[in-house]
Amino acid sequence: MKTIQKFNLAVYFIVLSGMWMMFSGCPRCKDGVGENCPNPINQEELITTVMLSLRDSATNEITVYSFKDLDGEGGNNPVIDSIYVKNGHKYYSDLILLNEQESPADTISVEVKEEADEHFVGYEFSPFPVSLSYLDKDANNLNLGLKTLWRIPGTPTTGTVTVILKHQPDGVKNGTVTPGDTDVEATFPVVIE
């Protein structure tokens, strides 16, 4: 009698565990069907493309240069255009930021403009100096930097320009590139002809 009870109890416990595990089990994802299948990630914050549209003030000719990393961070390296500018000329620059993983592409620079008081775009030219004027401001009268005017120096040379978009929330924005965290840091080669 005792033995039967013992045996019953053990069996009962094992069956109970088995049922417990089965009921709460985790369905596999098969052929894209199942509750554990991954949902496509909507990377709302992703910037894949940095575009500079430069208008030569003398000729009104517009050229667009881009820095594209379509697969995001990691994976393939970005494809970068070289910027060609004429010495002594002035250029009106428009910065356009896109998420081209979306279709149609999402224009992130529109959001940057909407949250102008939390963003700042800096341009760092190296090794030559470019005199830069900001043509747009936020509600606090601090520079934004989506629209700028570049005065190219008078000697032909080569170098780089780095476009830096900073997210500067919580009132840290002070009109410089220093505070905040970096959303974009894209370096273009520059040829001054």
Partner 1 sequence: MRIPFWFIVITLFACGNVYGQCAFSLAGAVKDAETGEGLAFTSVWIKETGQGAYADSNGYFILTDLCQGDYTVVVAHTGCEMRNFLIHIPEKSRVIFSLSHTLENLDAVIIRGKSIAPRRTQSESFLSGNDLSKESGQTLGKILEKIPGIAALQTGITISKPVLNGLHSNRLLILNNDVRQEAQQWGGEHAPEIDPMAAGKITVVKGANAVRYGPDAMAGVIIIDPFELRDSSGWEGSMNVSAMSNSRQGLISGRIGHRLRGKMQPLSWQFQGTLKQGGNIRTPDYFLKNTGVKEANFGLSAGWNKEDYGILVYYSRFHTNVGIFSGSHIGNLTDLMAAFQGTKPVVSSGFSYEITSPYQNIVHNLAKAEAFWKVTNAGKISLILASQHNLREEYDSHKPEVPSLKYAVNTTTADLVFEHNRRGNWMGTWGLSGMTQANRMSGSRYFLPNYVNLTGGAFGIERWRKDKWELEAGLRYDYRFLETYGLKGNEIVTHSYRFSNVSGSLGGIFHASDQLHFTFNAGRAWRSPGVNELFSNGLHHGAAALEIGDSTMKMENAWKAILTTDFQAAHWLIQVTPYVHYFENYIYLAPTGEVALTVRGAFPVFRYKQTQALLNGLDYRARYTLNPHWEVESSGAVIRARNLILQGWLFGIPSDRFTHAVTWKPGWHNHHLEKFFSNAYFSVNFRHILKQTRISGEQDFAPAPKGYGLLGLEAGMEIPLMKQEASLNLACDNLLNIRYRDYMDRFRYFSDAQGRNVRLQFSIKF
Q: How far apart are CA 105 and CA 58, in angstroms?
A: 32
The single residue among 146, 152, 161, 184 that binds partner 1, judged by CB under 8 A, is 184
3-class DSSP state of 94: strand
Considering the rule CB under 8 A, would residue 36 count as an interface residue with partner 1? yes
Q: At its nearest, how many Å lie between partner 1 and the CB of residue 137?
A: 22
Considering the rule CB under 8 A, would residue 156 count as an interface residue with partner 1? no
Q: At its nearest, how many Å lie between partner 1 and the CB of residue 167?
A: 6
Pairing of the two strands 157-167 and 131-134: unpaired
Considering the rule CB under 8 A, would residue 4 count as an interface residue with partner 1? no
Q: What is the largest CA-CA distance in the chain?
A: 105
Considering the rule CB under 8 A, would residue 104 count as an interface residue with partner 1? no
Q: What is the residue type of 17?
A: S
Q: How far apart are CA 153 and CA 78, in angstroms?
A: 28
Q: At its nearest, how many Å lie between partner 1 and the CB of residue 133?
A: 24
Q: How far apart are CA 47 and CA 95, in angstroms?
A: 13
Residue with Cβ nearer partner 1 (42 or 155): 42
Considering the rule CB under 8 A, would residue 27 count as an interface residue with partner 1? yes
Q: At its nearest, how many Å lie between partner 1 and the CB of residue 37?
A: 6
Considering the rule CB under 8 A, would residue 189 count as an interface residue with partner 1? no
Give the list of residues 6+ apart from residue 113 with CB closer than 8 angstroms, or none.
136, 144, 146
3-class DSSP state of 109: helix
Q: Which of these ranges, 83-91, 135-143, 148-156, 169-177, lies near partner 1 under the rule CB under 8 A?
A: 169-177
The single residue among 11, 57, 64, 72 that binds partner 1, judged by CB under 8 A, is 72
> DSSP characters for 144-191?
--SEEEEE--SS-EEEEEEEEEEE-TTTT--SSSSSSEEEEEEEEEEE
Binding site for partner 1 (CB under 8 A): 2, 5-6, 9-10, 13-14, 16-18, 20-21, 24-29, 32, 35-45, 47-50, 67, 69, 72-74, 77-78, 166-167, 169-170, 172, 178-186
